[in-house]
């Protein structure tokens, strides 16, 4: 070998060793179990991971491999974990969606999630089997930029804020209520939680309330004591915030401080300043705030219910200016949120979100367009949600296995409808639309551009149309636009933003309105697209996309041990 060849080889080995040193495998051994806990001062049962609620925070860098050895210590039910916002390229079985990407992990069994995090951003994880997210099965997942890269903004420190809502009724009871005839609604949550901590039947800001409510007397070591965020004056902080709420849309504010929004769902956006911001279930953001207020005071951090008549008090904690006493109550009331049904306020915020200059632009044309009508229905006397009059029920065999192995009769092979009747009046729908249960799949041609028009309508009750935050697994999509009333192709397309639309994985469709999305079907696998409100998905509000499934290789047999794939593996084992 020549001297030049040896030098080149040494340089290549050095480069490979440098890359190897920068990229790590982050290994975790988790046990999911029930645990008595007091998220808001009332003891109940939560789903915990390694004795922690919320679950442990994962921090990694772009390119790292996450390796989670998950053991199910629940006594009577299966479990899966969905890694919300992670693309799962080449590992679709690790997406963690029961009946879609894998079988539920049975009690006593262990399953290994192994996947690469390929994009920096603020993410989280949560249970995706039944309504286990409502039981507290969630945690934060933070992906930092690679060591040789920098964020497009500066900050001196950062905090992580995971938002959720909490009921005193168990999630099993809630599931039964939602599936009962007559229908029983679960009601509004008893409290709002920040990093798993809230207060029920008392308030940190009782002295500012007009209604009689007791002042919370917290020593600071209770399970429900608020986590106080400590800051130094004249610094800029990054607040990573994600919403794992089961039902509630929220509004976030930091008293006296402007917030600059810089990231949405793991994608950089054009920075813009707000006094408060809406955040829907499934969304995540990064905001910057500067501690430029009077350092002799502390300040409120508040979350308030949006889109539903508030019957749940504000969630509160304190921004503590060091060296003030940490639990010193601010000397002014918490921030006043916008009116719960001021949807124009919410639309204004959503329409301020644009992609950062230099971000990928959407294709100028679509290859296929799906119109998905969100309706509430009654099927055989049961109250359900439906898309194009089909209410989703999951099969016993995961789609990824049945499609990949060509197993017949695992699900309805008839394609769901691409659209709905143009005569449908979204303001006054028929009292009982012709709806049915179904588990068909939208088969998307690989490497094509797909448009989705989410169309909202009146629910069964008169003059009621709800907020629905929709989340797409395995992809980011461009949000092309929002509109009111019925989507009409001729008028609406002229308003589409093809220049700098934001990339997201979760987006809201407003009452009596539509939202237009575009994405590239380039990730082999089977992917859920659904309303992220837990009761709505439980009641059938979702669809399933499949693309390039024949390209998926080396699916672990452990992911497919149920239904027809389980029988297939057992049969082959005994041959």
Q: Bigger pLDDT: 425 or 302?
A: 302
What CATH number should be reported for the domain holding residue 297? 2.60.40.420
Regarding whether 428 and 340 lie in a shared domain, the answer is: no
Residues 6 or more apart whose Cβ sits within 8 Å of residue 297: 256, 321, 324, 330, 331
Q: Which residues contact 419 (CB under 8 A, 6 or more apart)?
A: 370, 371, 388
**H-state helical runs in 351-479:** 399-404
Beta strands in 104-156 (DSSP E): 110-116, 121-127, 138-144
Between residues 301 and 462, which one has the greater pLDDT? 301
Distance (Å, whole) CA 260 – CA 280: 18
Q: What angle do CA 297, 301, 302 make, to 5 degrees?
A: 135
Asked if residue 572 belongs to a domain, the reply is no
Q: Which pLDDT belongs to residue 18?
A: 44
Residue 574 lies in a domain: no
Answer yes or no: is 104 within a domain: yes
Per-residue pLDDT, 16: 43
CA distance 335 to 339: 12
Top-confidence residue, 491 or 1: 491
If one counts every other C-beta atom within 10 angstroms of the C-beta of residue 56, the result is 15
For 4, counting Cβ atoms within 10 Å of its Cβ (0-12 exposed, 13-18 middle, 19+ buried), the class is: exposed
Looking at residue 572, its pLDDT comes to 67
Q: What is the pLDDT of residues 292-351, one digit of tens each?
A: 999 999 999 999 999 999 999 999 999 999 999 888 999 999 999 999 999 999 999 999
Q: What pLDDT was estimated at residue 1?
A: 56
Nearest to 306 by CA among 256, 243, 352, 355: 243
pLDDT at 574 over 70: no
Short-list 291, 275, 166, CA closest to 236: 291
Q: For Cα atoms 403, 556, 47, give the angle at the middle one, nearest 5 degrees.
A: 100
Q: What is the mean pLDDT of the chain?
A: 93
Q: Please state the rounded mean pLDDT for residues 567-575.
A: 67
Count of all residues that appear for the chain in the document? 575
Q: How confident is the model at residue 5 (pLDDT cuts 50, 70, 90)?
A: low
> Within a domain: residue 5?
no
* Residues whose CB falls within 8 Å of the CB of residue 575, separated by 6 or more in sequence, listed in order: none
**pLDDT reading at 12 higher than 90:** no
Domain boundary among 302, 326, 355: 355
Please report whether residue 96 resides in a domain: yes
| Cis omega (within 30 of 0) for bond into 424 | no
Q: Are 404 and 296 within one domain?
A: no
Is the predicted pLDDT of residue 6 greater than 80, yes or no? Answer: no
Residues 237, 114 share a domain: no
Question: In the prediction, which pLDDT does 476 show?
Answer: 98
For 209, the token pair is 């309330």
Q: Is residue 18 part of a domain?
A: no
Which comes out higher in pLDDT, residue 10 or 156? 156
* Residue-wise pLDDT tens digits, 494-543: 899 999 999 999 999 999 999 999 999 999 999 999 999 999 999 999 99
CA distance 280 to 467: 9
* pTM score: 0.94
Residues 341 and 484 in one domain: no
pLDDT value for 17? 45
- The residue among 355, 376, 408 that closes a domain is 355
382: enclosing H helix or E strand: strand 382-387
Average pLDDT for 50-74: 98
In this structure, the answer to whether residues 396 and 323 fall within a common structural domain is: no
- Band (pLDDT 50/70/90 cuts) for residue 10 is very low
* β pairing state of 477-484 and 503-504: antiparallel
Q: How many domains does the chain have?
A: 3
Domain that includes residue 162, residue range: 157-355
Q: pLDDT tens across 343-381, in order?
A: 999 999 999 999 999 999 999 999 999 999 999 999 999
Q: In this structure, what token pair is assigned to residue 357?
A: 């200059």
What does the alpha-carbon distance between residue 144 and residue 119 come to, in Å, rounded to a whole number? 8
Is 275 inside any structural domain?
yes
Kindly indicate the confidence band of residue 407, based on its pLDDT and cuts at 50, 70 and 90. Answer: very high
**CB hemisphere CA count around 135 (13 angstroms):** 26
- 415 lies in the same domain as 285: no
The answer on 169 and 136 residing in a single domain is no
Tell me what the mean pLDDT of segment 64-89 comes to: 97
Look at residue 13 and tell me whether its pLDDT is greater than 70.
Answer: no
Torsion sign over Cα 533, 536, 541, 544 = positive
CA distance linking residue 86 with residue 115, whole number of Å = 9
Q: Which of 377, 382, 541 is nearest to 467 (CA)?
A: 541
Instruction: Tell me the mean pLDDT in the region 394-419.
Output: 95
> Which residue in this structure is represented by tokens 């987006």?
507
- Which residues contact residue 105 at a Cβ distance below 8 angstroms, ignoring those fewer than 6 apart? 70, 72, 78, 79, 80, 111
Q: Is the pLDDT of residue 276 over 80?
A: yes
Residue whose structure tokens are 């009690």: 107
Task: Report the DSSP beta bridge partners of residue 193.
Answer: 164
pLDDT over threshold 80, residue 272: yes
Q: Each residue of 191-234: pLDDT tens digit?
A: 999 999 999 999 999 989 878 889 988 777 899 999 999 999 99
Cross-strand pairs, 383: 378
Structure tokens at 527: 């992917």
pLDDT in tens, 90-118: 999 999 999 999 999 999 999 999 999 99
Rounded Cα distance, 360 and 499, in Å? 10
Residues 214 and 192 in one domain: yes
Work out the pLDDT band at 3, boundaries 50, 70, 90. Answer: low
Tell me, yes or no, whether 506 and 455 share the same domain: yes
- Domain annotation covers residue 291: yes
The SS3 assignment for 9 reads: helix
pLDDT average, residue stretch 426-445: 87
Q: Which of 110, 144, 178 is the last residue of a domain?
A: 144
Nearest-angstrom CA–CA distance, 309 and 542: 25
Q: Which residue has the tokens 């709420």?
A: 245
Tell me what pLDDT residue 432 has: 64
CA 278-465-245 angle, 5° bins: 40
531 and 423 in one domain? yes
- 431 exposed, middle or buried (CB, 10 Å; 0-12, 13-18, 19+)? exposed
pLDDT score, position 428: 83
Same domain for 387 and 446, yes or no, is: yes
pLDDT at 492: 81
Instruction: Retrieve residue 522's tokens.
Output: 């380039």
How far is residue 239 CA from its own chain's centroid? 17
Residues 389 and 493 in one domain: yes
DSSP string of 289-344? EE--S-TTS-EEEEEEEESS---SPPEEEEEEETTS-TTPPPSSPPPPPPPTT-HH
């Amino acid at each position: 070998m020549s001297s030049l060849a040896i030098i080149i080889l040494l340089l290549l080995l050095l480069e490979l060793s440098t890359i190897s040193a920068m990229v790590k495998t982050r290994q975790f051994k988790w046990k999911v179990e029930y645990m008595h806990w007091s998220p808001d001062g009332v003891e109940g049962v939560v789903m915990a991971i390694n004795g922690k609620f919320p679950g442990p925070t994962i921090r990694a860098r772009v390119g790292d491999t996450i390796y989670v050895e998950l053991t199910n210590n629940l006594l009577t039910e299966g479990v899966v974990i969905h890694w919300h916002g992670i693309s799962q390229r080449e590992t679709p079985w690790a997406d963690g969606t029961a009946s879609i990407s894998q079988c539920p992990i049975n009690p006593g069994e262990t399953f290994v999630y192994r996947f690469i995090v390929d994009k920096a951003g603020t993410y989280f994880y949560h249970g995706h089997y039944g309504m286990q997210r409502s039981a507290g099965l969630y945690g934060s997942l933070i992906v930092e930029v690679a060591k040789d890269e920098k964020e497009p903004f500066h900050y001196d420190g950062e905090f992580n804020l995971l938002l959720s809502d909490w009921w005193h009724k168990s999630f099993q009871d809630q599931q039964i209520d939602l599936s009962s005839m007559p229908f029983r609604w679960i009601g509004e949550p008893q409290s709002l939680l920040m990093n798993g901590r809230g207060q029920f039947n008392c308030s940190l800001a009782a002295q500012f309330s007009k209604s009689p409510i007791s002042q919370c007397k917290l020593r600071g070591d209770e399970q429900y004591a608020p986590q106080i965020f400590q800051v130094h004056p004249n610094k800029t902080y990054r607040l990573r915030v994600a919403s794992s709420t089961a039902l509630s849309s929220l509004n976030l504010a930091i008293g006296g401080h402007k917030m600059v929004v810089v990231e949405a769902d793991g994608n950089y956006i054009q920075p813009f300043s707000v006094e408060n911001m809406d955040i829907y279930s499934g969304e995540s953001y990064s905001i910057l705030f500067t501690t430029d207020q009077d350092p002799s005071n502390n300040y409120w951090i508040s979350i308030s219910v949006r889109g539903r008549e508030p019957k749940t008090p504000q969630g509160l904690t304190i921004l503590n200016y060091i060296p003030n006493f940490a639990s010193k109550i601010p000397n002014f009331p918490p921030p006043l949120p916008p009116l719960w049904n001021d949807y124009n306020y919410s639309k204004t915020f959503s329409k301020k979100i644009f992609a950062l200059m230099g971000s990928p632009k959407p294709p100028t044309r679509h290859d296929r367009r799906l119109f998905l009508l969100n309706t509430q229905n009654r099927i055989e006397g049961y109250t359900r949600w439906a898309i194009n009059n089909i209410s989703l029920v999951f099969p016993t065999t995961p789609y990824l296995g049945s499609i990949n192995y060509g197993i017949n009769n695992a699900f309805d092979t008839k394609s769901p409808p691409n659209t709905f009747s143009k005569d449908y009046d979204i303001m006054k729908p028929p009292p009982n639309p012709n709806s049915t249960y179904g588990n068909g799949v939208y088969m998307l041609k690989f490497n094509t551009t797909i448009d989705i028009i989410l169309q909202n309508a009146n629910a069964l009750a008169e003059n009621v149309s709800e907020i629905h935050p929709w989340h797409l697994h395995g992809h980011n999509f461009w949000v092309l636009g929002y509109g009111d009333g019925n989507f009409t192709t001729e008028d609406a397309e002229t308003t589409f933003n093809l220049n700098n639309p934001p990339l997201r994985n979760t987006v809201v469709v407003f009452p009596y309105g539509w939202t237009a999305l575009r994405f590239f079907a380039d990730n082999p696998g089977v992917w859920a697209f659904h309303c992220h409100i837990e009761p709505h998905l439980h009641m059938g509000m979702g669809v399933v996309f499949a693309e390039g499934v024949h390209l998926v290789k080396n699916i672990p047999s452990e992911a497919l041990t149920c239904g027809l794939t389980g029988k297939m593996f057992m049969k082959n084992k005994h041959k």
